[in-house]
Structure 1
Amino acid sequence: MKNLKARRGGANNHMDRTLFWLGSIGAHDFNRIHRSGTFSPEWITQNTIDHVHKLIQGMVKQGGKFFVIQGLPPIGCLPMNQVFSPRNEKDRFGCALRINKAVKHHNVLLQKKLHELQKLFPNCVFVNADMWMAFTKVLSSHRKFGFLEPFKACCGSGGGLFYFNPKKLCGTSHASVLCPGRGAYDLGLNPPQPRHAQGPCQAPHPWWLHASFPPHAHQVQEGPHP
């Protein structure tokens, strides 16, 4: 921020023309639910959404106007969480039910918070990137989107359904690369791009983006920032 002010005569001159994209904040915290009993999913959700709310408020007060806020993907579908989840606690995809249930609740509360922000700052634009919908759509028809395996890790060890061993993670000397083309395996938190198919992020009409503002740009009120 200081460098931007020095080089361009003040960051505030550019804030209202910049699109701010907030990633899936809290994803890695939910990913640790199986390994730590210190924090409950409810605690993680409340603290994460409070953090997002304060972060956006601060950016708006600095002149920010356009925001895309990612929801969380089905984190319970990661190979690690499927391995650690009991067999009697699976959802319709065979993923960790407890984690995915908590993530869905998190996304609902996040959407409500974005509507509150829209009322609080009517001159701003808030868009929810529905990563849950994007991921589950691909999981339901993974071959259509160019994935051979929706769950099996590309790099890991141990074989089995998920090619995952918590003691031999990808990057260690014992791990190996399973697939010649990484884009065909495991969606993960940061999914690879399939080489021979159009993924949801390349779709001409991004059906996973939801706005809490009028659909036409000219309907967004002009005026001073709060």
Structure 2
Amino acid sequence: MKPNRLWSYSMVLLGAMLLFMVAKTECKKCAFKAIFNFGDSNTDTGGFWAAFPAQSPPHGMTYFKKPVGRATDGRVIVDFLAQAIGLPFLSPYLQSIGSDYRQGANFATLASTVRLPQTSLFVTGVSPFSLDIQLRQMKEFKAKVDELPHKGKTSLPSPDIFGKSLYTFYIGQNDFTGNLARLGISGVKEFLPQVVSQIASTIKEIYALGGRTFWVLNLAPIGCYPAFLVELPHNTSDIDQFGCLISYNNAVVDYNNMLKTTLAKTRKELADANVVYVDTHAVLLELFQHPTSHGLRYGTKGCCGYGGGAYNFNQQLYCGNSKQVNGKTVTAKACKDPQNYVSWDGIHATDAANKLTTYAILNGSYFDPPFSLHHYCNIQPIG
């Protein structure tokens, strides 16, 4: 279901909330004992900052009240998903202190790509933890779980956990956006089949490790994000009635269709597995286009940034950073009401937008093929 009307989308959210309320009275436990997540900054819960400590306020301000490794003011989608099925927030695989992996691990890191970053296609500055590296980390993790004794207190899961887990993927945005300014849409499109192929092959390798349920979240409408509205070359004729970039959003749709087709083929090859395409694009596009219909106020304007104006984004001064301008120190500060914004820092969604997106996903209307998480789990309310 791709809601083109506000009524249909609002009913999806309402239905999800009612299901959560009913779930409070049930005792059924979740069939998924863990979540293993692969991705980039959209679902990073601290991996990048564990490897390269540097994160500063105001990140994390809304929910955690301090920086905790999320590229937003609060929680990311995988946080809400874990809450919904009764699991704790996922510990980053790269975080050595305070982590608990008994119910999963998060391999996602900020700036990660699907394709290996050292290839000539990609510019420097991306994370070294590509999807291939994240898969290797997963294999090493499983090997350690299988070989180490499980007696007494441990932070590791039982060896049989891998067949009882939900495997989620939210990655590919950096492959898509990293070279748009340099190569253009047609240049980037040339390499996207390799991106979806890599995602499919990763699923097959995890299947060989015992995984049976896979969710792959598609790409967001990048043409609506403040950062790309500022950074990407375009003409005014390329702006639609909602303030989004038409050509770039169309290119994302083409990629998402390619991903959907590839996953359908993978599904046929893994007959006893759930390989699910998750249309987060449709949800986020609705939020960007009609923020006020969902309790928000601003679509294509970032909360945390510098410069004000329509986008409040300056590519020379990212959220929380400071620099000298005309002899004066200026800082990219957060707004006072992030709960009213879709975009946190011009690139990532706010806690509020991630929450609305998760509500819609859990309702089940954005899965291909249809997938009822309520059939597997007693869905818990998320706050």
TM range (shorter): 0.7 to 0.9
- Equivalent in the alignment of 2:294: 145
Distance 1:50 1:113, change over 3 A: same
8 Å contact kept, 2:224–2:288: no
Confirm whether residue 3 of structure 1 aligns to residue 150 of structure 2. no
8 Å contact kept, 1:72–1:103: yes
Deviation at 1:49, TM superposition (A): 0.3
Confirm whether residue 194 of structure 1 aligns to residue 352 of structure 2. yes
Confirm whether residue 134 of structure 1 aligns to residue 283 of structure 2. yes
Q: Which amino acid aligns with 2:249?
A: N
Deviation at 1:166, TM superposition (A): 1.5
Deviation at 1:125, TM superposition (A): 0.4
CA distance in 1, matches of 2:159, 2:196: 25
8 Å contact kept, 1:34–1:81: no
- Equivalent in the alignment of 1:40: 187
CA distance in 2, matches of 1:216, 1:143: 29
The SS at the match of 1:151 is strand
- Equivalent in the alignment of 1:96: 245
8 Å contact kept, 1:127–1:211: yes
CA RMSD for the aligned pairs? 2.9
Q: Which runs of 5+ in 1 are unaligned?
A: 219-226
- Equivalent in the alignment of 1:69: 216
Distance 1:190 1:127, change over 3 A: farther
Distance 1:112 1:216, change over 3 A: farther
8 Å contact kept, 1:126–1:213: no
- Equivalent in the alignment of 1:117: 266
- Equivalent in the alignment of 1:210: 368
- Equivalent in the alignment of 2:167: 20
Distance 1:110 1:116, change over 3 A: same
Q: Which runs of 5+ in 2 are unaligned?
A: 1-140, 151-156, 323-329, 377-383
Mean alpha-carbon deviation: is it higher for 94-103 or for 120-129?
Answer: 94-103
Confirm whether residue 55 of structure 1 aligns to residue 212 of structure 2. no
CA distance in 2, matches of 1:214, 1:163: 39
Distance 1:57 1:212, change over 3 A: farther
CA distance in 1, matches of 2:262, 2:168: 16
Q: Which amino acid aligns with 1:31?
A: T
- Total equivalences in the alignment: 215
- Equivalent in the alignment of 2:310: 161
Deviations, residues 3-53 of structure 1 (Å, cap 9, x unaligned): 322346798632221110011x21022223443228822134212101101
The SS at the match of 1:22 is strand
Confirm whether residue 184 of structure 1 aligns to residue 340 of structure 2. yes
8 Å contact kept, 1:115–1:212: no
8 Å contact kept, 2:318–2:332: no
8 Å contact kept, 1:89–1:98: yes
Deviation at 1:87, TM superposition (A): 1.5
Deviations, residues 82-129 of structure 1 (Å, cap 9, x unaligned): 123331222443222232121100100111111101111110001111
8 Å contact kept, 2:319–2:334: no
Mean alpha-carbon deviation: is it higher for 38-47 or for 144-153?
Answer: 38-47
Identity in percent: 22
The SS at the match of 1:152 is strand
Q: Which amino acid aligns with 1:48?
A: V
Confirm whether residue 175 of structure 1 aligns to residue 331 of structure 2. yes
CA distance in 2, matches of 1:144, 1:189: 22
Mean alpha-carbon deviation: is it higher for 76-85 or for 117-126?
Answer: 76-85
The SS at the match of 1:35 is helix
CA distance in 2, matches of 1:162, 1:72: 21
Deviation at 1:213, TM superposition (A): 7.2
The SS at the match of 2:253 is helix
